[in-house]
Structure 1
Amino acid sequence: MTVLVEPDLRAGRPLRAVRPWTIAVAAGLVATILCAAFSWVPSLWGDEAATLLSAKRPLGSLFGMLLHVDAVHGVYYLFMHGWIRLAGESAFALRLPSALAVGAAVAAVTLLAGRRGGARAALVAGVVACVLPRLTYAGEEARSYAFTAAAAAWLTLLLVWLIDGGGRRLAPGARRVAWLLYGAGTALAAYLFLYSLTLLVAHAAILLFSRAPRATLRRWAVSAGAAVLSVAPLAVLAYLERGQIAYLSSAPEEASTWYFFLWFGMPWVAVLAWPLIGVALWPAWRTWRLRASGAAPPMPPGPRAVSTRLVGAAWLFLPTGAMLLVNLVQPMYTGRYSTFAAPAAALLVAEGILVLGRTLGGDVRRTVAVTAAATIAFAAACAPVYALQRGPYAKNDSDWAEVSAAMAANAGRGDAVVFDESAKPSQRPRLAMRTYPDGFRGLKDVTIHVPYSRNTWWADRAYSVDQAAQRGRFDGVERVWLIELDVDGAEDTWGLGELQSLGFAETGRRIETHRSAIIELTR
C-alpha cells in the first residue's frame, strides 16, 4: 500500500525566528505606497462621487439619505465624513484610506502565509498580495471594498489563531475577549459592506475541515450568531432599498468576469494565476482521492492543523459561491463585491508558487531560484495592469477632471452651464462640477432643482431646460455651455433643442474630451 506523506509545510524556518511582524509591516507599507502612488491621476467616477457627496453632507442630511439609499455603505460614509474634514477632498485624499486598508490586508496575508510556511512563504505571499490587480485597484478607489478586504484578512487570521493553538494558550477571560473581538469585527465588516457576512460560510468550513473541538465550534457559533443578529437592522434597510441595485438583473455577468475580472484584472494575469491556484490545491485533491480510494490511510481522528490551502480555498470560493446562489433568486451581485476574497487569491497564488518551487527545485538553492523566478514573473505580469489602473480614464472611462479643466480654460464668470441629465446617474456630467468644482467657479448652474445636500438621493435633482426657463433661470444669460455625454461618438443631445428654442445658437466652438462634448451657445 502506498504510504501518503502529508505535504511538507516546512518551507523555511519558523516565521517567529525572523520576526513575522517585521515582514508583515514591510509588506503592508509597500502595498500602501504602491496603491497610493499616482492614485490622484484617474478621474473620480460615479461610485466615488457617491462617496464624496455623501461624506460632504451635514450629518442630519446623511442619516436622512441612508434611510432611502446606500444604507449598506453608511458606516464607511460616516468615516469619510470625518476624514475629508482632516485631509481634504482631493482624489488623493479620498483614496488614501483605501491604500492604507490594502496595506493592512497585505500584512495579514503575509502573517497567514508565514504561520506554517515560514519566512519564504511570507515573503512570496507579501509580494503577490502587493501586486494582485484586485487589491491594487481597490487601494486607489474611494469605496469601502478595500476595508472589507482588510477586515476579512484580519478576521481570518484571528480565527485561525484561535483554532490552531493560540486560543488554547489563553486564560479563559482572555479567550472570551478574543472571541468577542471576532464577533465585533465580523459585525463591523458587515456594516462596512453587508455581503461581508458571507465570510462566515468560509470560516464555518475552516472549522469543520480542521475538526475543531466542540468548545471552539460553540464559541464561534455564539460570536457569529451575535454578529448576524447585530446586523439585522442593516439587512432590513438593505432589503427595503434593494431597488437601488435592480439594474443588476438586466446586466448579467459575462464569462470574463469569472475568469479574470474578479481578482486578476486582465486575461494574461489569470493565465498565470489560475494554474498556480490549481498547483496549490493539487496536493490536497490528490490526498483526498487516495484516501477515498483506500490507497492511503485515513486521516487520524482529532483536530488537525489548519493549512494555508484550506484557508485560501474556503475563503476564495465559498463566500462568492454563496452570493451567486442568492443571485439566482434575487439579482444582487457584481464582481466588485468579491473584493474581500482577494487576499485569499493572493494566498493561493503564493502557495502555488511555493509548491512549484519545491517540485521543480530539488535542492535548496534551485528551490529558491525557481520560487523567486515565478514570483517575479507573476509581479511582471501584473505590472501592465497596475499601469492601466493609473491612467487618467481608468475609472469607468470617467473624464470629469478633464471636463473641469476645459471649463476653467474656456468659460467666463457669469456664463451658464447646462448638464446632460439623460445619462444614467453615475455618468452624468453634472458630477464633474461636484467632484472637481474649481473649473466651475463663477458659473451659473441654471437647472439645479434640489442640491444633493438636501436630497434623499445621493446626487442633485435637476430641472429640464424648459422648466428652468419657466422659472426665469435664463434671464440675462448670454452664453451657455452645454455638457453632453459622448461615448464612442454616440453624443447625447439632451437640452439642445430647448436651448435653441430659447434663442441660443451654437457658435461652432466645441470641446471634445474623452467621454464628453462641451458645446458653446450664445444669443
Structure 2
Amino acid sequence: MTVLVEPDLRAGRPLRAVRPWTIALIAGLAATILCAAFSWLPSLWGDEAATLLSAKRSVGSLFGMLMHVDAVHGVYYLFMHGWIRLAGDSPFALRLPSAVAVGAAVAAVTLIAGRRGGARAAIVAGVVACVLPRLTYAGEEARSYAFTAAAAAWLTLLLLWLIDGRGRSLPAGPRRLAWLLYAAGMAVTSYLFLYTVTLLVAHGVILLASRASRRSLRAWAVSAAAVMVSLLPLAVLAYLERSQIAYLSSSPDDPSIWYYFLWFGMPWVAVPAWALVALGLWPAWRAWRRRGTLPPMPGPRAPSTRLVAAAWLFLPTGLMLVVNIVYPMYTGRYSTFAAPAAALLVAEGILVLGRMIGGDPRRTVAATAGATIVFAALCAPVYVLQRGPYAKNDSDWAEVSAAMGANARRGDAVVFDESAKPSQRPRLAMRTYPAGFAGVRDVTLRIPYYRNTWWPDQAYSVKRASELGRFDDVTRVWLIELDAQGLPGAAPDEYGLASLRALGFTETGRRIETHRSVIVELTRPAV
C-alpha cells in the first residue's frame, strides 16, 4: 500500500530494494508453516470438539443449535462445515485454516511496521509475530481466534491506507467503496467473534490522535454505526445465551492471565517482552513530555506504528477487562485479535534497543538482529510446549482412543464419565477420535449431538440405560473416568461404577491409566 522507506540509508541499502509485499509474503508463509508444523500432535480439546461437532452437522441442524448456544461462533462453524467436506476432519485438517490465518496476520504486521519504519522494521516485526506465543497457539487451534487476528490486522492496515496512504487521494466513488469494504469487514469479523467489535474503539482513537480529516472521521463514524446496527441480531442472541460463559464468574483470579498469558505464554517471555514494549513506547513518552515546549503542528499527522499498536493492544482489551469487573465475560484467548499489536510493539522495542546499543549503522543492524534472535530463542520453548501431546487443556482423548482400540473388542460396551463439565467429558474422545471405538457400543447415548440443540451428546445414566434394556446382552463394559480435574495424586471419579456393580458387573483388575483418564474393564457372566 505504501512503499517502505528505510530511514537509515547506509545500513539499509541492501533492504531498500526489497518490495514490501515480498517481505509480507515470505513472513506470512513462514508463519503458516511454523503454525502448521506438528499441529496434529496435541490432542483435540473441548473447544475444538465443539468446532468439530458443530461443523459436522447439517446446515439446518447447525442453525438450530446456534439459536440455543454458540451463536457468537456461528460464522466460523459455517466456514468449517464447508472446509471439512473438502479437507477432512483430522486434527491437522481442522487446524490448518488457523495456521493460514496467522500467516495472513503476520503478513499484515510486516506491512504496518514497514509503512514508517522501512524494510528493517518490517522484517523484525515479521519475525516477532511469527514466534509470538499467542499467535503460534492460535495457529494450531481449531477456533476462530486466529481469523480475528488476521482480520484485525488487515482492517487496521486498510484504515491506515484510507487516512494516511493512497486511499486519501481516491475519487469519491472508489473511496466510498473502500469505506464500505472496511465496514463490511468489521461486521464479518465481529460475527466471527463478537468481542472484536471493540477494535472500533482503537480505530477511533487512532483517527483522533492523528487529526484525521473531517471527511475521514465522518466516513469512519458512519461505518462504525453501520457495523453496530448489523450486530444487533448477534448481540441479542449472545445476551440470551449468556449462561454459556457463566462459569467465568467462578473462575479464580489468576494474575498470570493479565501478566503473561494474554500474549506471551510464559514468564520468561513476558518479562523481556513487556520491557521491550515499554522501550518501544519510550520515544512516544518523551515526545509527549516535550509537547509543551514545541509549537503544535498544524493539520493531520501521520499515525506512527507506536500509536497504532498501543491503541490496538491496550484499548480493546482494557475495555473488556473493565466490563469483566461488572459482568464476568472475559478470558485471555479473547484478546487474540490484539496479538499482532503486541508483536508490533515488541518489534519497536527491539528497534529502539538496537539503536541504543549500536553506535554506528553497522553495529545497529547487528544489535537489532541479535535482539530479534534472542527473542525468538526465548519463544522457542513455548512453541515446543504448545506442540506436546497434552498441550490443549491437558486433553488426552487421542491416547484414550488408542487405548480403547488396542484393548476393546467388537460388541463390548462403553460407559463414559458424565459428571465432568461438558468440555472435559471423556465421551468426546469417541467423537474426536472415533477410530479406537469402532465396533464398541455406546449404551448410554440418549440424543446424538447432531439431533441436539446443544453442541455435545446427551446421555442416560447407567441406571436409566439398564431400565431401557441397553445392557441386556452386554458381558463386558469399559468405564472411562476423568481423573479428578487432572490434579496430581487425585483419585479418579467413580461415576456409574456402583450402578454397574448393581447390574452384576465386576472389575477384572484391568485398569488403563492415560494422562488424565482411567479406563476400567468390568465383566459379568453371559445370561
1:159-205 CA distance string (max 9 Å, x none): 01111132222121111111011000000000000000000010011
Is 1:474 the counterpart of 2:475 in the alignment? Answer: no
Q: Equivalent residue for 2:512?
A: 511
Q: What TM-score do the two structures reach when normalised by structure 1?
A: 0.97
1:365-384 CA distance string (max 9 Å, x none): 10001000000000000000
Question: After the TM superposition, which of the residue ranges 280-289 and 36-45 deviates more from structure 2?
Answer: 280-289
Shift of 1:286: 1.3
Instruction: State the SS of the aligned residue for 2:290.
Output: helix
Q: Equivalent residue for 2:199?
A: 199
Shift of 1:506: 0.2
Q: What TM-score do the two structures reach when normalised by structure 2?
A: 0.96
Is 1:122 the counterpart of 2:122 in the alignment? Answer: yes
1:175-324 equivalent positions in 2, closer than 5 A: 175-291=175-291, 294=292, 296-324=293-321
Instruction: State the SS of the aligned residue for 1:438.
Output: helix
1:420-499 equivalent positions in 2, closer than 5 A: 420-486=417-483, 487=486, 488=488, 489-499=490-500
Q: 1:443 to 1:263 in 2, by over 3 A?
A: same
Q: Equivalent residue for 1:155?
A: 155
1:105-163 CA distance string (max 9 Å, x none): 00000000011111100000000000000000000000000000000000000001111
Shift of 1:253: 3.9
Q: Equivalent residue for 2:35?
A: 35
d(CA) in 2 for partners of 1:55, 1:192: 14
Instruction: State the SS of the aligned residue for 1:381.
Output: helix
Contiguous gaps of at least 5 residues in structure 2: none
Shift of 1:305: 1.0
d(CA) in 2 for partners of 1:61, 1:436: 22
Shift of 1:11: 4.9
Shift of 1:236: 0.5
Contiguous gaps of at least 5 residues in structure 1: 1-7
Instruction: State the SS of the aligned residue for 2:521.
Output: strand
Q: Equivalent residue for 1:331?
A: 328
Instruction: State the SS of the aligned residue for 1:18.
Output: coil
* Equivalent in 398, 410, 414 of residue 411 of structure 2: 414
Shift of 1:16: 7.6
Contact 2:6–2:120 at 8 Å: present in 1 too? Answer: no
Q: Equivalent residue for 1:391?
A: 388
Q: Equivalent residue for 2:501?
A: 500
Contact 2:6–2:119 at 8 Å: present in 1 too? Answer: no
1:52-92 CA distance string (max 9 Å, x none): 00000011110000000000000000000000000001000
Q: Equivalent residue for 1:80?
A: 80
Instruction: State the SS of the aligned residue for 2:92.
Output: helix
Contact 2:8–2:361 at 8 Å: present in 1 too? Answer: no
Contact 1:253–1:334 at 8 Å: present in 2 too? Answer: no
Cα root mean square deviation, aligned = 1.2
Q: 1:499 to 1:420 in 2, by over 3 A?
A: same
Shift of 1:10: 2.1
Which residue identity lines up with residue 521 of structure 2 in the other structure? E
Identity %: 78
Contact 2:448–2:457 at 8 Å: present in 1 too? Answer: yes
Q: 1:303 to 1:17 in 2, by over 3 A?
A: farther
d(CA) in 1 for partners of 2:320, 2:223: 22
Q: Equivalent residue for 1:136?
A: 136
Is 1:405 the counterpart of 2:406 in the alignment? Answer: no
d(CA) in 2 for partners of 1:298, 1:321: 32
1:339-378 equivalent positions in 2, closer than 5 A: 339-378=336-375
Instruction: State the SS of the aligned residue for 1:491.
Output: coil
Q: Equivalent residue for 1:164?
A: 164
Instruction: State the SS of the aligned residue for 1:224.
Output: helix
Contact 1:447–1:468 at 8 Å: present in 2 too? Answer: yes
Shift of 1:252: 4.1
Shift of 1:331: 1.1
Q: 1:303 to 1:382 in 2, by over 3 A?
A: same
Q: Equivalent residue for 1:4?
A: none
Contact 1:11–1:120 at 8 Å: present in 2 too? Answer: no
Query: How many residues in Structure 1 have an aligned counterpart in Structure 2?
Result: 513
1:439-484 CA distance string (max 9 Å, x none): 0000010000000000000000000000000000001100000000
d(CA) in 1 for partners of 2:66, 2:448: 16
Shift of 1:302: 1.1
Instruction: State the SS of the aligned residue for 1:484.
Output: strand
Which residue identity lines up with residue 361 of structure 1 in the other structure? G
d(CA) in 1 for partners of 2:268, 2:391: 18
Question: After the TM superposition, which of the residue ranges 168-177 and 342-351 deviates more from structure 2?
Answer: 168-177
Q: 1:513 to 1:202 in 2, by over 3 A?
A: same
